[in-house]
Structure 1
Amino acid sequence: MEKLIKIISNRAVLIVLLILIQLGVLFAIVFRFQNYFVYFYTFYLLISSAVIIKIINSRSNPAYKIAWIIPIMLIPIFGTVIYLVFGRVRFSNKEKMKMAMVQERERMANESTVAKTTIDDGNPNAIIQSNYLSKHGEASLFEHTTSEYYPLGEEAFKAMIEDLEKAEKYIFMEYFIVHEGEMWDTILEIMVRKAKEGVDVRFIYDDFGCLFTLPHGYDKKLRDQGIKCCVFNQFIPVLSPIFNNRNHRKITVIDGKVAYTGGINLADEYINRIERFGHWKDNSIKVEGEAAWGFSLLFLSMWDFVNSTESNIEEFIPEYAPGELPENDGYYQPYVDSPFDRETVGMNVYLNLINRATEYVYFTTPYLVIDNLLMEALCNAAKGGVDVRIITPHIPDKWYVHAVTKSNYAQLIEAGVKIYEYTPGFIHSKTCVVDGLYATVGTVNLDYRSLFLHFECGVWMYKTNGVDAVLQDHMEIEKLSQQISLEQAKNVSFPKKVVRACLSVFAPLL
């Protein structure tokens, strides 16, 4: 009985129950009006037609449109109701204006605090990619930066602990998932201690990402310990389309001089202290020098948006002693992607890299749930002689997403793309490396949610030691992976084909 009460009183269970009750009430109302069938059905047809016309004329991804039009047409009444509740990517004008003001302040801060850097080797492809990020990715281009790439979460964790201990002015951390355990408890102890020493410690976590891992009101507990904490998009049990948009970013900044990003969240599976899906292959990259300040600005923009504040940027500008800044190690450009605008930055970073590859383009991704645009770009690159390779997990964390991932194998392999599965377990790192010149490491998965619905971040690199490290890591992962043949990709039982076909239709909603 005690165990049952504990389950029932769990925050996530209560939220699900409340949402189901609200859906039940909506459907009960619909059934009630069926007594006036002719009038109700006519009204329904008008509403459904209007909704479908709106979907078709929206700027949403075509696959996302199809995924919603089908249930609206196949499930009379209920499809429209579900779309109106969950299907729209909607922000209030107030939220849009607030984000626009925050981004404008960030842009001005970039201009006033960052020395303008340009790529000086005349490579037009690199200049085009960098210019795009400068305009749409909320990011400046940086030199005087070096990096350390960590091919495993446990290696990144060790380095993070060492750097957090060195914090003198501030610590900024922003993560999608936080779970109490060895990793988080160790970091939390340092944060609390540093806060008592007078370090400005700030923390942002996504409420939905932590729905099953942190208790309700955990932010208050952190504030009571001296940590400035806020929760992104607090998850309340009211039917709303805002469920779709989460903060999937992973950022750590120390004194504006050191910054981390990559795939790892703050939970023990990311450092293989516990096993969930075999060996968890993840990554992180540390940048030291000017580019770390870029991540400070990205964090502060999110902090100001969530808290409706206006940070004094000048307080956080790092000061370097003569000779302290690293020597030039190529070019680094932090960037973010936001669903507040119609600019799919994460997608376009990948498309720019694929379309400008001349020798090879290598990806690692936990999910391969892509639209026609990315599919054609990958296939056309391979058909043109570019060596295209993609590594996905062998042991999935979500069976239904992995089913859609596998459904894309045959088309890609037929075009000449090489597909590998990481045999020891689950690969969660999100990397792309091209021609030994470019690479990106960050949080952007090759799936619809990352590419179109979530807040994401990463760092684009050109001619840096980080590019070489990402390439080396990819080749090491391949040694532990099995290449999928076309025969294997096509050798699927009929029931599985049916399931995958159905799931692929609704892939944008997964």
Structure 2
Amino acid sequence: MNDFADFTNRFRIKNSLPGVLTTLILYGVLFLLQFALIFAVGHFLKEHEDLLQGLFFVVDLGVGLHIVNDKRNDPVYKVAFLFTMIVLPMFGAFLYILSKWDIMRRWFSEKFETSKKKNFTYYRQDPEILEETRMEDPLFYNTARFLWNQEDFPIYRNGECDYYPIGEVYWRRMLEELEKAEKFIFMEYFIVQQGEMWDSILDILKRKVQEGVEVRLMYDGTAVLTKLPLKYPKAMEELGIKTKVFKPIVPILSLYQNHRDHRKILVIDNKVAFTGGINLADEYVNLKAPFGHWKDTGITIYGAAVRSFTNMFLAMWDVNADDPESFRPYIMPPEEEYKGKKTGYVIPFGDDPYGKNRVGKEVYNDMVNQAVNYLHIMTPYLILDDETKSDLIHLAHTGTDVKIITPHIPDKKIVFRVTRSYYKELIRNGVEIYEYTPGFVHAKSFVSDDRKAVVGTINCDYRSLFLHFECAAYFYDEAMARKVEADFQETLKECTPFTMDMCMEFNYFQRAAGRVLRIFAPIM
């Protein structure tokens, strides 16, 4: 179609409420049929319990021993699965077996690791830069060395960066940079939803394709349930936009579908990269307000460090490729050819549920353990493992200023209940908790000591730290850290400090519900 408005309207009609409901009902029925089959088998086994009781005991015992001795499991995961097995013995064992030996999960894991290994060969680490960081800050050097030695994410020096304290400004900068594109545009997002924000971006993408710019779009498969029509990729291909859906939802019980692409990446010509908490939907830029004012943040990075985001995108894109490509043409020339400002250091990094390390968790924990004067956190969800909770409490006990901003108006009430269940213990031990009074905080940032900052897509919950594909940038940069801290202080002015008295006002049901839900947080 030549008329962009007609094209947009045509596909909005296809994404009408009846279409969405039909998709949800179809998928729901297919999933329910599979649950019914499982319960039917369970009922059959129950009727023959006397004959199979010994088998049940052996299976539960074997799975239980495996859970306890599996060094890859976080202790809280072990508690969650063991508790489930106590309440629902065979179901709990089945759930754990499915999580570990799911065929679809193993198949995708192998494909992703192959793609990652292939594309990460393009990374290079300048040893001079690593040595500089060792001399400047040995603790930060250790984190940088971990990210390079274990995960192949290099640290960069030549580059410029900027920070956006609200989605509206971030959106405006996206449009400005998209207009400058000459070679390629890569976009990877958790959510893409039709509306004013996406339409403004799509309008530019359409024109850029006509100018000869290569455009690739990838979004998470959960979008087809409520956000986009099933045939939306075909519509994008008609416009000349190469499009892929990450792990399309398949109505088959498989924990493979539990690992979602939560990243937000925009790369333009290998010159600039965007990331942060902002998806491509109207609520992220306050054109809609389902949960009050939406507080979100984002960053841009210019220069050699953009290569890391380019590689992360291409590694993910390559997983679903029928014909693997050579991505060398997309990689930027050597770092010295970019004449950027030397304002500090940055390490773009990614995390995935299949690797040997929980990269986001390791970086966050290093931020906690290395803070001296202050550590300030913004997160939409606060669901902590025992290690991180203990580290935050210990840091507060040392006299370090520890503050955390969470939402006051939640987008997920159950998760909000779990988040609030941590308040009492943290506040009692010196950690200050603030809720963003005007609405919902979706920002994900750590900042400490006017030196270090992490901004990206990683929430402080089990989904982000253990189950999702994520990305972020770790800055050792005074200018950037001061921008993040200034935004934290401005946001604090619109927050309500939570007190012990307020925690005590939670009724018995609220406190009990939060505690019970915490048990299942790792497998929610």
Shorter-chain TM-score tier: over 0.9
Aligned to 1:423: 437
Question: How many residue pairs end up in the alignment?
Answer: 507
Separation in 2, partners of 1:100, 1:22: 30
Q: 1:309 to 1:150 in 2, by over 3 A?
A: farther
Aligned to 2:64: 52
Separation in 2, partners of 1:115, 1:159: 33
Letter in 2 for 1:66: V
Decide whether the 8 Å contact of 1:443 with 1:458 is kept in 2. yes
Decide whether the 8 Å contact of 1:137 with 1:337 is kept in 2. no
Secondary structure at 2:58 match in 1: helix
Higher alpha-carbon deviation: 385-394 or 207-216: 207-216
TM-score, normalised relative to structure 2? 0.92
Alignment of 1:16-415 (within 5 A): 16-58=28-70, 59-85=72-98, 94-111=107-124, 117-118=129-130, 120=132, 122=135, 123-307=137-321, 309-318=323-332, 325-415=339-429
Separation in 1, partners of 2:36, 2:48: 20
| Post-superposition offset of 1:41 | 2.9
Separation in 2, partners of 1:400, 1:88: 29
Decide whether the 8 Å contact of 1:393 with 1:426 is kept in 2. yes
Aligned to 2:7: none
Separation in 2, partners of 1:320, 1:165: 25
Decide whether the 8 Å contact of 1:177 with 1:210 is kept in 2. no
Cα displacement string for residues 452-483 of structure 1 (whole angstroms, at most 9, x for unaligned residues): 11110000000242211111110011011011
| Post-superposition offset of 1:78 | 3.4
Separation in 2, partners of 1:262, 1:321: 24
Secondary structure at 1:343 match in 2: coil
Higher alpha-carbon deviation: 437-446 or 49-58: 49-58
Decide whether the 8 Å contact of 2:20 with 2:226 is kept in 1. no
Cα displacement string for residues 10-69 of structure 1 (whole angstroms, at most 9, x for unaligned residues): 222311221011110111122123332212333222222222222222221111121121
Separation in 1, partners of 2:81, 2:53: 20
| Post-superposition offset of 1:161 | 0.5
Unaligned runs of 5+ in 1: none
Separation in 1, partners of 2:44, 2:172: 60
Secondary structure at 1:205 match in 2: strand
Letter in 1 for 2:171: F
TM-score, normalised relative to structure 1? 0.94
Secondary structure at 1:436 match in 2: coil
Q: 1:406 to 1:93 in 2, by over 3 A?
A: closer
Cα displacement string for residues 339-377 of structure 1 (whole angstroms, at most 9, x for unaligned residues): 112301000001101101111110000000011010011
Secondary structure at 2:130 match in 1: coil
Separation in 1, partners of 2:480, 2:24: 40
Decide whether the 8 Å contact of 1:331 with 1:464 is kept in 2. no
Decide whether the 8 Å contact of 1:179 with 1:210 is kept in 2. no
Aligned counterpart in structure 2 of residue 445 of structure 1, from 459, 463, 474: 459
| Post-superposition offset of 1:435 | 0.5
| Post-superposition offset of 1:392 | 0.2
Unaligned runs of 5+ in 2: 1-15
Q: 1:500 to 1:206 in 2, by over 3 A?
A: same
Q: 1:20 to 1:486 in 2, by over 3 A?
A: same
Secondary structure at 2:382 match in 1: coil
Decide whether the 8 Å contact of 1:438 with 1:460 is kept in 2. yes
| Post-superposition offset of 1:6 | 2.3
| Post-superposition offset of 1:319 | 5.7
Decide whether the 8 Å contact of 2:158 with 2:335 is kept in 1. no
Letter in 2 for 1:104: K
**CA-atom RMSD, angstroms?**
2.3
Separation in 2, partners of 1:84, 1:408: 30
Aligned counterpart in structure 2 of residue 10 of structure 1, from 16, 22, 41: 22
| Post-superposition offset of 1:325 | 2.7
Decide whether the 8 Å contact of 1:146 with 1:288 is kept in 2. yes
Aligned to 2:5: none
Separation in 2, partners of 1:336, 1:432: 16
Secondary structure at 1:101 match in 2: helix
Separation in 1, partners of 2:198, 2:212: 21
| Post-superposition offset of 1:194 | 1.1
Cα displacement string for residues 82-125 of structure 1 (whole angstroms, at most 9, x for unaligned residues): 4444687876554444333322223321139x796325251101
Q: 1:102 to 1:403 in 2, by over 3 A?
A: same
Letter in 1 for 2:80: A
Q: 1:152 to 1:86 in 2, by over 3 A?
A: same
Cα displacement string for residues 299-340 of structure 1 (whole angstroms, at most 9, x for unaligned residues): 111111232553323211346999863221211110001111
Cα displacement string for residues 244-287 of structure 1 (whole angstroms, at most 9, x for unaligned residues): 21111110000000000000011100000001100000011011
Separation in 2, partners of 1:175, 1:466: 24
Higher alpha-carbon deviation: 6-15 or 433-442: 6-15
Higher alpha-carbon deviation: 140-149 or 128-137: 128-137
Secondary structure at 1:6 match in 2: helix
Separation in 1, partners of 2:349, 2:92: 37
Letter in 1 for 2:516: C
Separation in 1, partners of 2:142, 2:466: 22
Decide whether the 8 Å contact of 1:361 with 1:386 is kept in 2. yes
Secondary structure at 2:226 match in 1: coil
